Chain A
């Protein structure tokens, strides 16, 4: 225990770690080959994965905390030290092996510097038992806080509407000047209005405009002006839908609010009795990571439901935002299977979800994905139907059977002979997916964003291919 005290960056980390000592917070606790590891459900969409080497107390956690070690690593060490939880013997999983192979050796110089940076008073486990002052709820304070929240909400509503008026004016200017002109100066003109929308607390629309320049420049030159029409038209559509939310179906109105920038907290989602919940075995088929202009990294973990054609969502995406300097991947690896209850955010096309209850930890399995028996053409038609229901639909999962990867110069396509549909693969996959061009027919799943297809998973005659 003394070693844990010595490692803790501050007293509050130890206090936070103490709150995680319940075995119920840890769907996985395991040990093997001198290592201990576990999964802990935190405030992120995906559980945090923590591993510790017993010999030298090296640690790794997928949480975005800037404290080292974080409360999850401390809690894992703590449970091991006081034997308050049982660690099941197991073979070391791939995510732990991956970390070990990338791990730097213990550095005495670094630890000395860290020691010097730490406060002089050493954190103490004994002190974590003292209850925090003011922990008891004060009903009057609660009421005041609720009133303040409502006042803030009304102020924000007004600010957003004012921002949307500015947006309309800006859009009119762009239409007057023409899209060919807009494409030539996208970055500058979008930056200004995006900042205005940030001030108006319409962060969702601001993000779309900020990312527009990068998106257009991934496309070939001749395609950019018409793509600008698509993107700006969509932004106007969201703006109109937001203003006319009361006339729209409830779910579409919720979509419009989310697209503008109103977020739903994890607590609010889990407390929403109307939210769609699906209890099933889920398979991770893609993990995407993208750095955003706001210095955050958006990590999307895409899940596919194993079995069940019952009208409930078949696919889900868990979205985490982590500091850009942090890990580029989330907690889960492609191929992991999770037995969990998911709660979906309200939407016409429910995709985004949170894990409400994790029954077991994630484990790699070789089982194939339970894909529907549909060709690429048929799945694409489902995308079109979804687009009709939610006009600003973003990335959408598309499954396929018996398609093939074909090449034209450097560009790869996923091609369906039956419908003659060819979706161009994301440019980042030019090299990774090239071996698929020589394997004939494939079944699989990927993500279509309206421009490019990100191939995520394919079953081939040479075995499984997954996006790296």
Chain B
């Protein structure tokens, strides 16, 4: 019996059941009288099917070509990287540090490792290059995917096609270099953007905001999105061209002005907190109350210069916190430094306020901001894990060498109470913050700890060193 006969005459009976569709009588010839003819047909058909070669699909998908100029991570670092990123106990800190290193050194993970570190790639795709971005987007519908650009390849012709965060970063840089061209770019695509994108792009105008922006901002008073209208109104108020800022009026109602001094009268400002705000919620209330008020507006309302405003608030810690938050929001690090001179615990107070972003600050600005709020602690750096955790998350940058130098020299980790060392990933966050010059010193201090706690931080330091110094990246 050949394959065609089996297929045409035997298979239908086996599929439908021989009780309903009997096997063709002439096909059943048993070699062994003890065997069942139908079962012999079953095994013969089964074996014939096993010899049937698998049929190919009608067509294959054409894979997109991704242009990625980044070098692939050196082979020797691949396995340690995968091991670290998939370790059960690893926190987000090593992943953040590694993503930054990939971005800074213009490296990319090996394409074969992308499935193994999928969660890391999805969280940090923009820092890992176009191939990783394509991987992270692979399950999105085609309409939702963006073109894949390295930031260095963005220009006026293609900036609108990149991911939003890259667009914002590009625009921010352009705004610093040429404010008018940057605004013109925003205006050119404004009508096609959704509300979220409009809001993020409008934020960029905060950089070098000037009267030249007023005509464009005025057109936004009728924008469909309330938050875009509010932000535009805030900017106009800052320029002195808009109506009254309601947030400013609310703040003014809570700030009491008086004078002090015997020989020379000096103005004094004091923030009066609502009676229903409990002590532990004060910082959060301040952040909410002052988030829509600018430093310039507040000073203008009292007819003070920025420095006079800080001097007048010097004795009032809640008001100083408000000024610190406004200075941070406006990227006025010069003002932040002046405020922190009167508010040495600004780090803790800012953390308590729930501030969760430094806006569009550049990496060097974020590092400077960190220096400003950490330096007042000098040798008494806090041994509270949540402060360091927050610092790393909000700055998303290596600590400036001056900060880490204090941490290493004062043996911060050795001061952490024994019970807290195991309860929080102290060593990981410090290793993730540690810049290259202090890594060796930190390693020497890590040796003092339980080996099970140092596996991840030491591996992180080794990989970061390898990424910076290995010459076999391809």
What residues of chain A have their CB less than 8 Å away from a CB belonging to chain B? 34, 53, 55-56, 58, 94, 97-98, 100-106, 168, 171-172, 175-181, 225-227, 229-234, 236-237, 240, 243-244, 380, 384, 387, 391, 406-409, 411, 413, 415, 420-424, 431-432, 434-439, 450, 462-463, 465, 468
Interface residues of B in 12-60 (CB under 8 A from A): 14-21, 32, 34-36, 38-40, 42-47, 49-51, 53-60
Contacts A413-B56, A420-B56, A450-B50; A104 near B89 (Cβ below 8 A): yes
Across-interface contacts of A58 in B (CB, < 8 A): 451-452
Q: Is the CB of B63 within 8 A of A391?
A: no
Given A237-B43, A413-B56, decide whether A230 and B18 contact each other with a Cβ distance below 8 A.
Answer: no
Interface size on B, residues (CB 8 A): 62
Given contacts A105-B453, A415-B56, A432-B115, are A233 and B87 in contact (CB under 8 A)? no
Residues in chain B near residue A435, CB distance under 8 A: 111-112, 114-115, 135
List residues of B (451-474) whose CB comes within 8 Å of A's CBs.
451-453, 455-456, 459
The answer to whether A415 and B60 touch across the interface, beta carbons within 8 angstroms, is yes
Q: List 27 A-B contacts (CB under 8 A).
A: A34-B451, A55-B451, A56-B452, A97-B83, A101-B87, A103-B455, A104-B452, A168-B36, A175-B14, A175-B38, A175-B42, A176-B38, A180-B15, A181-B17, A227-B49, A229-B42, A234-B50, A240-B43, A384-B51, A406-B60, A406-B61, A421-B53, A424-B54, A438-B63, A462-B112, A463-B112, A468-B115
A463-B110 contact given A176-B19, A178-B14, A180-B15, CB 8 Å threshold: yes
Query: Nearest chain B CB to A242's CB is how many angstroms away?
Result: 13
From B32, B50, B61, name the one whose CB has the most chain A CB atoms within 10 angstroms: B50
Contact check, A53 vs B56: say whether CB atoms are below 8 A apart.
no
For B38, B112, B456, which residue has the most chain A Cβ atoms within 10 angstroms?
B112
With CB as the reference atom, state the residue of chain A lying closest to B459. Answer: A101
Q: When chains A and B are docked, how far (Å) is the Cα of A178 from the Cα of B36?
A: 16
Residues on the B chain within 8 Å of A436, using CB = 112
Closest chain B residue to A243, Cβ basis: B34
Task: Determine if A431 and B20 form an interchain contact, defined as CB atoms under 8 angstroms apart.
Answer: no
Residue of B with least CB distance to A437: B63
**Is B46 within 8 A of A237, CB to CB?**
yes
B265 at the interface (CB under 8 A from A): no
Beyond the given pairs A98-B83, A462-B110, 6 more chain A to chain B contacts, judged by CB atoms under 8 angstroms and listed by A's residue number, are A104-B452, A408-B60, A413-B56, A415-B60, A435-B135, A438-B111
B88 contacts partner chain A, Cβ-Cβ < 8 Å:
yes
The proximity string for B residues 92-125 relative to A, scoring 1 for CB distances below 8 Å and 0 otherwise, is 0000000000000000001110111010000000
User: Would you call B240 an interface residue if the criterion is a C-beta within 8 Å of the partner chain's C-beta atoms?
Assistant: no
Are A171 and B42 in contact, with the CB atoms below 8 A?
yes
Q: Does the CB pair A172–B36 fall under 8 Å? A: yes
Residues of B within 8 A of A423 (CB): 54
Q: Cα distance A226–B34 when bound, in Å?
A: 26
Q: Quick one: which of B14, B47, B60 contacts A179, CB cutoff 8 A? A: B14
Asked if B46 contacts A105 (CB within 8 A), the reply is: no
How far is it, in angstroms, between the C-alpha of A434 and the C-alpha of B18 when the chains are bound?
Answer: 44
* A231–B14 alpha-carbon span in the complex (Å): 13
Q: Which residues of B contact A105 (CB under 8 A)?
A: 422, 450, 452-453
Q: Contact at A413–B57, with CB atoms within 8 Å?
A: yes
Question: Contact between B53 and A431 (Cβ–Cβ < 8 Å)?
Answer: no
B18, B42, B50, B56: the one contacting A232 at CB < 8 Å is B42
Determine whether the beta carbon of A101 is less than 8 Å from that of B456. yes
Would A106 and B450 be within 8 Å (CB), given that A101-B455, A181-B17, A408-B57 are in contact? Answer: yes
Expressed in whole angstroms, the minimum distance between the Cβ of A391 and any Cβ of chain B is 6
Distance between Cα atoms of A135 and B39 in the complex (Å)? 53
Select B61's contact among A34, A104, A168, A408, beta carbons within 8 Å: A408
Complex partner residue of A434 from B14, B50, B115, CB under 8 angstroms: B115
Q: Say yes or no: is B270 at the interface (Cβ < 8 Å to chain A).
A: no
Name the CB-closest residue of A to B82: A468
Given A233-B46, A408-B57, A244:B111 Cβ within 8 A = no
| Residues from chain A with Cβ under 8 Å of B88 in the complex | 102
Q: B43 near A236 (CB under 8 angstroms)?
A: yes
Q: Chain B's nearest CB lies how many Å from the CB of A348?
A: 15
Q: Report yes or no: A230 in contact with B49, Cβ–Cβ below 8 A.
A: yes
B: residues with CB less than 8 A from A are 11, 14-21, 32, 34-36, 38-40, 42-47, 49-51, 53-61, 63, 66, 72, 75, 79-80, 83-84, 87-89, 110-112, 114-116, 118, 135, 138, 422, 450-453, 455-456, 459
A181-B18 Cα distance, complex, nearest whole Å: 12
Interface pair A101/B83, CB less than 8 Å apart: yes
User: A450's closest neighbor in chain B, by CB?
Assistant: B50
Q: Which residue of B lies closest to A431 (CB)?
A: B115
Q: Which of A56, A103, A230 contacts B46 (CB 8 A)?
A: A230
Supposing A229-B42, A415-B60 touch, asked if A180 and B16 sit within 8 A by C-beta, the answer is yes
B60 nearest in chain A by CB position: A406
Min CB distance B138 to A, Å, is: 7
CB-contact partner of B56 in A102, A233, A422, under 8 A:
A422
Given contacts A175-B38, A177-B19, A462-B112, contact A233 B60 (CB under 8 A): no
Contacting residues, chain B, for A98 (C-beta < 8 A): 83
User: CA of A227 to CA of B111 in the docked complex: distance in angstroms?
Assistant: 36
Q: What chain B residues lie within 8 Å of A407 (beta carbons)? A: 60-61, 63
Contacts of A53 in B (CB 8 A): 451
Known A-B contacts A387-B51, A431-B118; the reply to A465 vs B60 at CB < 8 A is: no
Q: Given A179-B15, A233-B42, do A465 and B112 touch, yes or no (CB 8 Å)?
A: yes
Q: A55-B451, A175-B14, A230-B50 are in contact. Are A422 and B110 (CB under 8 A)?
A: no
Task: Give the 9 A-B CB pairs with smallest separation, nearest first.
Answer: A233-B46, A178-B17, A422-B56, A105-B452, A408-B57, A233-B43, A406-B60, A435-B111, A101-B87
With a cutoff of 8 Å between Cβ atoms, the chain B residues found around residue A438 in the complex are 63, 66, 111
Q: Closest Cβ of chain A: how far from B338's Cβ, in Å?
A: 45
| CB-contact partner of B47 in A233, A380, A437, under 8 A | A233
State the CA gap A179–B38 with chains docked (Å): 13
Q: Tell me whether A462 and B72 are in contact (CB under 8 A).
A: yes
Residues A226 and B452 in contact in the complex (CB < 8 Å), given A172-B38, A177-B17, A435-B115? no
Residues of B within 8 A of A180 (CB): 15-17
Give A34 to B447 CA distance when docked, in angstroms: 11
Question: Which residues of B lie under 8 Å from residue A243 when comparing CB positions?
Answer: 34
CB–CB A175/B56 < 8 A: no
Complex contacts, A384 vs chain B, CB 8 Å: 51
Q: Are B452 and A106 in contact (CB under 8 A)?
A: yes
A387 with B60: in contact, given A56-B451, A179-B15 (CB under 8 Å)? Answer: no
A459 to B60, CA, bound (A): 22
Contact of A176 among B17, B54, B456 (CB under 8 A): B17
Could you tell me the distance in whole angstroms from the C-beta of A20 to the nearest C-beta in chain B? Answer: 26
Cα of A227 to Cα of B16 in the assembled complex, Å: 14
Q: Which residue of B lies closest to A183 (CB)?
A: B15
Task: Say yes or no: A422-B57 contact (C-beta < 8 A), given A180-B15, A384-B51, A462-B72.
Answer: yes
CB distance from B267 to the nearest CB of A (A): 57
Q: CA of A105 to CA of B17 in the docked complex: distance in angstroms? A: 61
Q: In whole Å, how far is B92's beta carbon from the nearest beta carbon of chain A?
A: 16
| A380 CA / B451 CA spacing, docked (Å) | 50
Interface hub of B54, B58, B459 (most chain A Cβ within 10 A)? B54
How far does the Cβ of A108 sit from chain B's closest Cβ, in whole Å?
10
Tell me how far the C-beta of A209 lies from the nearest C-beta in chain B, rounded to whole angstroms: 14
CA–CA, A420 and B57, complex, Å: 11
Please give, as numbers and ranges, the residues of chain A lying within 8 Å of B111 by CB-CB distance.
Answer: 435, 438-439, 462
Q: Using A177-B17, A423-B54 as known contacts, say yes or no to A408 and B59 having CB atoms under 8 A apart.
A: yes
